[in-house]
Structures are given as structure tokens and as C-alpha cells.
Amino acid sequence: MSNARLGLVFDGLPGAVRVNKLPPAQGLCGAAAWIGRFHASHAVDAKGEVPIPLLRYDLDYYLSWADRTRRFADLEGGEPRWLAGLCGEFARLARLLLDGSITVIHGEYYPNNVLVREKAVRPVDWDTTAVAAGEIDLAALTERWPRAIAEQCENAYRWARWADRTPATFHETLLAARLYLHFRWLGDRPEWTRAARFRPHWVELRSIARQLDALDHSTRGD
């Protein structure tokens, strides 16, 4: 690290458009493939070393956002009855974010941070770059998009990153990444937890809670 040289580069992107302004196959799927290739080429070695100092997400980091969400929800009128169980499931699933192949991530790879110029994908605002599970970026890109479009993006990402060697835990890891992002925003500050503009995160969390409950019942044969 002592020999590392850091720099800040500014550049303009005239004529660039956000990926969500383009047809999904050209915009979102192209962005998914781009970040898949980026994750493949920036995979972190077994020692977790990277050439520049970056925050590395650990289990405490992930779980802290779920804890904050519960605490802030309680301050704002009480947490939903299903939230404790979902946080318990997240404690299990979050370990998948550590067990898989770790890489350098954008951190907030939402469509408004991904531009396209002359068919080239140009992500911007890399201030949340970290060392973590790449599925976090894919979860951000596809958040609240129709299932069919999200699946196209997932397929593009998987092929770009792993070709035909997708990890068996990919879908569970992606689910853990989605949970993390919802908790990340709801647990940021108390005034956000119950704010109207963050309500979609609660809707998504409730949907995931139902999904996990249904899976649990089917496993137990209830």
C-alpha cells in the first residue's frame, strides 16, 4: 500500500443517457453485463487485498442495517410483526454475501448512476465503492423492475461474470443482497424509515418475508 498512487479524474459525457431511458435489452441488460465483466476482472484474492484502500463489508456491517431498521421502526410507531422474523432470516442469508466470490463493487449501481454513451456503459458516482459481494450491484440495478426484465439482467450478468459456471448459491445470494439494500436505506436515519418515499422498500421487504415464509412451509410440508 505504501507505493500506491491515488488520483481523481474528471471527464464529461456529452450525449450520454441513463440506462432506464433505453429499451431494457439495450440499457439495463447491457449494464448488467458490463458490471458482471467488471466484477470478474476485479475479483479480490483469498487474502482480500486490493491495490487501493476500500471499505470491506463484513457480517457486522450487513447486520447493523437490519438492527437499525428495527430500532428506527420502533421509534416511529412500532415495527411490523413480521420484521423480527425477516431479520432473523437475513442473519442467515447475509453469510452468503461473505462466502461467495468477493469483488470490487460500485455500491449504488442504480440506473440513475449508469449512463450509456455511443453504446458504451459509463457508470458514474463511484463514491460508495467497496469490497463486497457483486450481487449487491445487480440487486441495485434491477430493484423494482418487472420480474421478466430482472431475469434477463440476471442472465446477462451471470454469463458475463461466470459464463457457464454460475455458483449454486447465486439466487440466494442475490436475495440476501436485495434484503441488504432495503435495510441499508430504511436504516440510514430515523426520518427515512417511515417516510413516504421509502415506502417501496417496506413493500419489497414484506413481499420477501412472504416468499421466505412460503418456502419454509413448503420445506416443512405444512
Q: What is the pLDDT of residues 170-181, one digit of tens each?
A: 999 999 999 999
Q: What is the pLDDT of residues 102-141, one digit of tens each?
A: 999 999 999 999 998 878 899 999 999 999 999 999 999 9
**Which residues, including other chains, have CB under 8 Å from residue 161's CB and lie 6 or more apart?**
36, 37, 39, 40, 134
Domain borders along the chain are: 17-220
CA distance 185 to 202: 10
CA distance 164 to 217: 32
Segments of 139-207 assigned E as strands: none
Q: Is the pLDDT of residue 50 over 80?
A: no
Give percent above pLDDT 90 in the chain: 70
Q: What is the pLDDT of residues 71-102, one digit of tens each?
A: 999 887 778 899 999 999 999 999 999 987 89
- Higher-confidence position of 30 and 119: 30
- Higher-confidence position of 58 and 17: 58
CATH number of 17-220: 3.90.1200.10
